[in-house]
Amino acid sequence: MHLRKAQELGRRLRERRKQLGLSQRELGRRAGVDDATVVRLEQGSFAAPRPDKLSRIAYALNLSLADVFALADYVVPSELPTFTPYLRAKYRKLPPGAVDELERYFDKLAARYGIDPAGPAPGEDEGLASLKRKGQ
């Protein structure tokens, strides 16, 4: 990331933090990152901040992850993650056994409703012939 982009990212993060009335230390605590990381990000000192830290800070500031990643020149995923990675990322504080239990329950629900979590989303597996039949 170029210096100008790093400074713009830092400015936006600082503005939002101040809007919320948070100190750098409090933001770091909420995001689960060292407050020195927050300071360096706001100063534009990071050439390549880690995406996982950026995502936690974006979440703590209630900012769009896509917007924050765009400011950092990171590619924004075009699709949502599957359930298991999402669950583990979103609920990091749950004990591993609880996450495993949620995954098993999700698998049961998916099977009950005929959903293949590893399969394509509805419409993604349609071939050209079926699209033509639909008039598209």
The domain that holds 17 is classified in CATH as 1.10.260.40
- Asked, for residue 128, whether it belongs to a domain, the answer is no
Task: Report the number of distinct structural domains present in the chain.
Answer: 2
Residue type, 22: L
Cα Rg of the chain, angstroms: 20
In a domain, 15, yes or no: yes
Name the more confident of 82 and 63.
63
Rounded to whole angstroms, the Cα distance separating 52 from 39 reads: 17
Instruction: Kindly compute the dihedral angle of the four CA atoms of residues 112, 88, 16, 78, in this order, to the nearest 10 degrees.
Output: -60
Tell me the pTM: 0.57
Question: Does 22 have pLDDT greater than 90?
Answer: yes
Cβ–Cβ under 8 Å, residues 28 and 38: yes
Residues 6+ apart with CB under 8 A from 30: 22, 60
Are the beta carbons of 13 and 5 closer than 8 angstroms? no
Is residue 134 scored above 50 in pLDDT?
Answer: no
4-18, 20-34, 91-105, 116-130, range with the lowest pLDDT: 116-130
Q: Quickly tell me which residue has 């409090």 as its tokens.
A: 26
Mean pLDDT of 21-49: 92
Alpha helix locations (H) across the chain? 3-19, 24-31, 35-43, 51-60, 65-71, 83-90, 96-112, 128-133
> Whole domain around residue 97: which residue ranges?
83-112
Tell me the percentage of the chain whose pLDDT exceeds 90: 35
**pLDDT number for residue 136:** 42
- Amino acid 133: pLDDT: 42
Task: Say if residue 7 is in the same domain as residue 64.
Answer: yes
Q: Are residues 46 and 104 in the same domain?
A: no
Q: Is the pLDDT of residue 31 over 90?
A: yes
Q: Does residue 61 belong to any structural domain of this protein?
A: yes
Find, among 84, 87, 95, the residue nearest to 118 by Cα: 84
Assess if residue 133 is contained within a domain: no
